Amino acid sequence: AMSLDGRTAMATGESKWITSEQARADVHRLRARSSAILTGIGTVVADDPSLTVRVSALGDSPRQPLRVVLDRELRISPAARLFSQPGGVVIFTAETAQLRIEAITARGAEVISVPANGHGLDLMAVMRLLAQREINEVMLEAGATLSGAMLQAGLIDELVFYLAPHLMGDAARGLFHLPGLERMEQRIGLDIQEIRAVGQEWRIRATLAQPETA
């Protein structure tokens, strides 16, 4: 979800709510069709999300997707809300401290170690491990850093934006962190597949544009 000026949260991190109830219900429908929901530790620490499919949106007992958190240093609290919600939780980390791992597995989550580099966890390794579990549709709900990293790594097939009729200002937080884009020819093109109204918002579905050939 973002404002008309491309912002997802105020500078303080406040983001509830940018969009209407109708748009949020539509997000739950997208969650319900996904095999997993992927987020980063920054979002978990800031928002303490459930990342579940809301019961009222899709009947009394909707299937809950796997919740996946990328947490390089295993900073997640054992009291995080997602541990007390229905559905499985997998934490990918580079942390090896056994006591910290045991504190999380005691909450019912699975902790998986993956390589890391100077920018974070190896995203390709994460996606390969999810694919090995036959997880074929991953919904990314994350902040600008992880969203930008996934986009630049070529790991996003489709983008769904909910464009809300607000302006949030220059200090508010952006949708993607995309370092290194300095020239017009470096911009990332999108092909719009669908635009439709959802409540007071516009839902825009897009895919990455294929590079132009000479």
- Provide the CATH number for the domain formed by 2-208 in this structure: 3.40.430.10
Q: What are the E-state strand segments in the chain? A: 2-3, 7-9, 36-40, 66-70, 89-93, 110-113, 116-117, 120-121, 138-140, 158-164, 173-174, 190-198, 201-208
Mean per-residue pLDDT for 112-140? 94
pLDDT of 55 reads: 62
pLDDT tens per residue across span 134-148: 999 999 999 999 999
pLDDT of 121 reads: 95
For the chain, which residues make up each domain, given as ranges?
2-208
pLDDT tens per residue across span 58-117: 566 678 999 999 999 999 999 999 999 999 999 999 988 889 999 999 999 999 999 998
Q: What is the model's pTM?
A: 0.89
